[in-house]
Structure 1
Amino acid sequence: MPFLNYDRLFDSITELVMHHSPSGMETEVDRLIMQKFADLGVEAWLDEAGNAIAKIPGIDSSYSLAITAHKDEIGAIVKNITPEGRVEVQRLGGAFPWVYGEGVVDLLGDRATISGILSFGSRHVSHQSPQKVYQEEKALKWEDVWIETKCTSQQLETAGIRPGTRVVVGKHRKQPIRLQDYIGSYTLDNKASVAILLALAERLQNPPVDVYLVASAKEEVGAIGALYFTQQQKIDVLIALEICPLSSEYPIDDGEAPVLLSQDSYGIYDERLNLQLQEVAQSANIPLQMAILNSFGSDASIAMKFGHVAKAACLAFPTQNTHGYEIAHLGAIANCCHLLSLFCQTRM
């Protein structure tokens, strides 16, 4: 039997995915997370940087462990609105327009949300049209696309659409899909990890040390929330929950086995902490893979690089199509939760 019921886990991730949370405008998902913590009866708060934090008091409060899962998602940000009402955008986090394709996006205005169509231009054209080169010669970039809302610039202004407005995939396109024991969805990075935090909040009681469960803010734009939290709160051990990209360059198998990172673009993780996690996994017969990643960073590696924590690790679940329409095995997500639940009960 899986540690977490797959149906319940799928539903938990789905609920989180369907709450927008572009970096820096995470209020919609904040309300949900804080309500979940309140329903579980755990002490929780939002800090000044926008992190949603739950504290599980330990027997020994002189030592502390934090587990982070960032709640923000990638997307786009409005750069300009033409007099005709065409919306021009640039990326927010590691987003690429060709990943989303032409389709509905939501513009989260100050006073109203307006849906529009991410547009690339027509295909029935010759080399006289600028769109022709994207069919044959060059990659599509954000400066080449626009959003059609069919609103006037005044209507957009009334809704509070302006430079700085966040843009995310439209909600009706976000609904996750179940593929046997897999889940397919936008923003599994990192809503699936937030679902793990909620499951841990439900299961952890009287751990040996204080445990902080942190749904961190603005990770996709520099781990801003985690850096603030680890600067304000002394943490002895930090573990980040993340996705792990499946690619031929990495020795990672798809399926139920989580991945423990040894190194990413920001540096190495703590080897002794990794060994402790491996020992817990081995004793519980939880499959575990090891990897080194490129073009990747986590709350943990960034916080350790800047000297905010002495010991950090990153536990992840293998994921296809990262930063796109992602696919992951529910068993790998459940096993991440199982491993961390056991680890939180060990003496450090």
Structure 2
Amino acid sequence: MKRFNVEDVIEVLKQLVNIPSPSGNTDKVITAVENWLEPLGVEMQRNRKGGLIVTLPGKNNTEHRMLTAHVDTLGAMVKEIKSDGRLSLTMIGGFRWNAVEGEYCKIETSEGKEFTGTILIHQSSVHVYKNAGEVKRDEKNIEVRIDANVKNAEEVRELGIEVGDFVSFDPRFQVTDHGFIKSRHLDDKASVAILLNTIKLLIEEQRQLPYTTHFLISNNEEIGYGGNSNIPPETVEYLAVDMGAIGDGQTTTEYCVSICAKDSSGPYNLEFRKKLVQIAKDQQLNYAVDIYPFYGSDASAAIRSGHDIIHGLIGPGIDASHSHERTHRDSLENTSKLIYHYLLSTMK
């Protein structure tokens, strides 16, 4: 892995997070991934759900591997155009309304027009609403203030905005002098950036993998079914690359690669987990084994859909998941190196 440079991962990540892609509206970001991969000459195709499958041939074509990371993100959809020209929302994915209050956003109409706005509590002015700080943050009170001269629902509709239009959140991507990456949607675009950079490294190094390996850039993970299909029957090992959860009782940090032992779907394959831990030890990587209590992945979705596979889950440690997320370049590097050396390892 002589050519690895974590700055390459960060640059891809920056490009990805700045392309809005809430679940259900991911064509633009998938197209961007295709355009990024095209010069590498890799085999790729979209599935009917709109995800992208990249295949690298290996020495063994009877036993396959599959890795997945999801490019879809949290977001919202216009639920109602209110009489005062504001928009009420319905969530896409699992987050809390207080995590997006005050956030800048973008509304994309079905005709492709875009308008900016701000997500606010209706009772936002403390000079008018005495109980502004006590009002419940929910879909009844959270709304979008559109950056357009609109005073009623009719004027909003004249812009082309309708119920069902997608709303995305401003990522506010930053890299600090101390190596922290702050942005929305590090879950899971950080992992997508890692996989894309790994594919590029393997091609540049002219590495032939021991097994034919598929990389699924899934686009419906945040709503539960991104990686549950298009798994070739030859697939033995299925590794989801997704964020490692940080908080009280967790051992994962922003500097390590997190290896999941169990999430809300149950335990991940023990022997697969032990193998990943051993690779991390052999390569002297900073890693942590953890349990994510309120979590599901593309790998658990694949198991639930009936696929006979060995499943695992790893990813960079990300603080404040589904809120104002942050990770560190060290975590991206440790995760990249674990994936790279896993891909070169044998199953036995």
Q: Do both proteins adopt the same fold according to a TM-score greater than 0.5, normalized to the shorter chain?
A: yes
CA contact (8 A) 1:76 1:95 kept: no
Look up the match of 1:198.
196
- Where 2:293 maps in the other structure, the secondary structure is coil
CA contact (8 A) 2:173 2:182 kept: no
- Unaligned segments of structure 2, at least 5 residues: none
User: TM-score if structure 2 supplies the norm length?
Assistant: 0.90
Partners of 1:179 and 1:240 lie apart in 2 by 30
- Where 1:225 maps in the other structure, the secondary structure is coil
Look up the match of 1:226.
227
Q: Deviations over 1:149-170 (max 9, x none)?
A: 1435445435543222111113
In the alignment, residue 192 of structure 2 is paired with which amino acid? V
Partners of 1:193 and 1:163 lie apart in 2 by 32
Look up the match of 2:209.
207
| RMSD between superposed Cα atoms in Å | 2.1
Shift of 1:72: 0.3
- Unaligned segments of structure 1, at least 5 residues: none
Give the count of matched residue pairs: 338
CA contact (8 A) 1:3 1:335 kept: no
Greater percentage in helix: 1
Partners of 2:93 and 2:100 lie apart in 1 by 14
Partners of 1:277 and 1:161 lie apart in 2 by 48
Cα distance, 1:264–1:176 mapped onto 2, change above 3 Å: same
Look up the match of 1:64.
64
Q: Deviations over 1:224-256 (max 9, x none)?
A: 2311223x655211111111121122133342x
Shift of 1:143: 2.2
Q: Does 1:240 align with 2:240?
A: yes
Look up the match of 1:148.
145
User: TM-score if structure 1 supplies the norm length?
Assistant: 0.90
Q: Deviations over 1:181-231 (max 9, x none)?
A: 221111100111010111121123310111111110110001x2311223x
Look up the match of 1:276.
275
CA contact (8 A) 1:203 1:341 kept: no
Identical amino acids, percent of aligned pairs: 23
Partners of 2:2 and 2:81 lie apart in 1 by 50
Q: Deviations over 1:238-285 (max 9, x none)?
A: 111111121122133342x21101100011100111111122222211
Within 5 A, what are the aligned runs for 1:74-113?
74-111=74-111, 112-113=113-114
Partners of 1:169 and 1:308 lie apart in 2 by 34
Look up the match of 1:174.
172
- Where 1:32 maps in the other structure, the secondary structure is helix
- Where 2:238 maps in the other structure, the secondary structure is strand
In the alignment, residue 333 of structure 1 is paired with which amino acid? L
Look up the match of 1:21.
21
Shift of 1:141: 1.6
In the alignment, residue 292 of structure 2 is paired with which amino acid? L
- Where 2:209 maps in the other structure, the secondary structure is coil
- Where 1:118 maps in the other structure, the secondary structure is strand
Q: Deviations over 1:305-348 (max 9, x none)?
A: 33224211000211111111211111111211111111111121
Q: Deviations over 1:95-147 (max 9, x none)?
A: 22221222421011112011112121334257xx4x71x513x6412221111
Partners of 2:228 and 2:157 lie apart in 1 by 34
Partners of 1:97 and 1:140 lie apart in 2 by 6
In the alignment, residue 26 of structure 2 is paired with which amino acid? E
Partners of 1:247 and 1:46 lie apart in 2 by 36
Look up the match of 2:181.
183
Cα distance, 1:295–1:2 mapped onto 2, change above 3 Å: farther
Cα distance, 1:74–1:284 mapped onto 2, change above 3 Å: same
Worse overlay, 89-98 or 210-219: 89-98
Partners of 1:34 and 1:66 lie apart in 2 by 18
CA contact (8 A) 1:50 1:225 kept: no
